[in-house]
Chains A and B, each alone.
Chain A
Amino acid sequence: MGEPVRELLDERFGRLLKANHAPLTRLAASYAANRSDRDDLLQEIAIALWRALPAFRGECSERTFLFRIAHNRCITHLSKRRDTVSLEDAAIDPEDPQGSSETIVAEEQQRRRFLQALRGLPVIHREVLVLFLEGMDYGEIAGVVGISESNVGVRLNRARQKLKTLLEGPL
């Protein structure tokens, strides 16, 4: 590959990672056991993107392409991981609130609880729900996961019900 092409890809790679850092971090967090596991997963996603970018021909949007790669990495990562998510892991997980206000603490606890519940979902439900939460429509989710749009709807509905049950129960 020529140097100018590689530089263009490099620039595109950096831009994509930078623009999607927060969504990718959230996506990785929903498949990781703890913060260090999430960071490992983010690195794997970055490397997978670097390798896949030259093959991108614009058949779908950059965002769909990026999330397809990230999603695949997450599923592979999950299948490699032997341990399960423990409450201890989740508790030390991330993002200690930067402030002492009770509201911030309560919101953070709520977010942690939500993340724990999400991690408790079966993968087929978690994957569609996480992508939906990231703002994707049914078509985009179908493109990323590789299922039909109607199937997305069915899975999303089941994911919603299960998540609700988990959130209402003791975590």
Chain B
Amino acid sequence: MSTDVELESWRRQWQSRSEPAVDADVIELLRRRVLRETRSNKLMLVWPILVTILVGGWITSRALRTGQGLDVLLAIEGWIFIVVMWAGCMWIARGTWRPLADTTAAFVEVSIRRGEANLRGATFGACAYVVQVLFVVLALGVASPVGFGPLLTSVYVIVTGWIGVPVGLVVLGWFRRRQRADLARLRELERQLRGE
């Protein structure tokens, strides 16, 4: 086989290599992820709206139905909690809804903002949960004629407090570690894109 024919044959063989679809282009992957998150963020809004309607509706209707001081107190506190959660979440989610431009830098930036918002949101949610559980336990304990003793061993407190809080803290720690690793990777990418 002459040199040229051999090289041409190798060239054809080389160029016929079928490579898999783009799975290596980090920037393209990032773009897809950001667009996917933008869509899912909008869709996921359904859940807090649903929870607001169901929980808010339930505590309000119970307070109106029974007219008892404790139920009214819990309904007012419940609505304050809901409003604080909404305000806090909206505040944390500022600048994370969509990229400001259709550029790679904007996609990286919004991805970093979302990671930071996830970190803040998780801590905020955990604190709000603990405060809410403490408030409800305190209110029920003060209002109860038998005091705190039976309440602390009730199914509600066992599930939401004794089990819920430690499990929530473990999950929070794991989530934060994962988010931090993700953020470190994104910041490194941002640094590289800036040419630093």
Binding site for B on A (CB under 8 A): 3, 6-7, 10, 13-14, 17, 21-22, 25-26, 28-29, 38-40, 42-43, 46-47, 50-51, 94-95, 110-111, 114-115, 132-135, 156-157, 160, 163-164
Contacts and interface: CB of A to CB of B under 8 A. Distances in A.
Given A50-B27, A51-B195, A111 B22 contact: no
B103 A110 contact: no
Given A17-B28, A43-B24, A133-B11, A95 B17 contact: yes
Question: Of residues B16, B103, B189, which shows the largest number of chain A Cβ atoms within 10 Å of its Cβ?
Answer: B103
A39 B24 contact: yes
Interface of B: 3, 6-7, 10-11, 13-20, 22-28, 101-105, 189, 192-193, 195
Contacts of A115: 17
A55 B18 CA distance: 32
A76 to B, nearest CB: 14
A46 B11 contact: no
B17 A47 contact: no
Given A46-B27, A133-B15, A160-B6, A7 B20 contact: no
Contact of B24 (A25, A110, A135): A25
Nearest to B31: A14
A160 B5 CA distance: 12
A5 to B, nearest CB: 11
A40 B103 CA distance: 22
Contacts of A134: 14-15
Contacts of B20: 94-95
B86 to A, nearest CB: 33
Given A7-B102, A160-B6, A160-B7, A39 B18 contact: no
Contacts of B18: 95
Contact of A13 (B13, B14, B104, B189): B104
